[in-house]
Amino acid sequence: MNFRTFYVGFMGILGTVTAFAGLVTPETALGEDGLSILIMSNLRAFMAAELMLALFALYSLKHKQHQDAALTFLFITLIGWTIGQVTSYVADGAPNTFTMASIVVQALLIPVTWKALKSK
């Protein structure tokens, strides 16, 4: 198994688990209680979109012609989430420890995703 296939599978599994957890119980997944209905609705919508992206990554394991698209979507999503969370950090202040750790992990995964996208 090459790095690209391993990475797509890893991100597909990781994304499926985390997105499903965020979709079912966003407050628990984020470690925050008392979120408003509007925030819960938006979080569930984003998590559902993330779940579909993760499932597409897993789909691309069998249908290799779709791996470029899956990795491109992962790359764009990681950049978008990181930009959004850093912007929130600057505008709103420091988030909880979980969110700070996720910002770091997402930022570190951006070049790894790029490497997987460029490898064949």
Structure tokens at 98: 């979980």
- Rounded CA separation 18/120 (Å): 27
**Is there a contact between 29 and 21 (Cβ–Cβ < 8 Å)?**
yes
User: What are the backbone angles phi and psi of residue 63, rounded to the nearest 5°?
Assistant: -110, 80
- Rounded CA separation 81/102 (Å): 10
Pick from 99, 82, 83: nearest CA to 29 = 99
Q: What pTM does this model have?
A: 0.84
Ordered mean pLDDT values, 10 residues apiece, the chain (120 residues)? 94 93 74 74 88 96 95 96 91 85 92 94
Q: How many residues does the chain have?
A: 120
pLDDT confidence of residue 94: 85
32: enclosing H helix or E strand = none
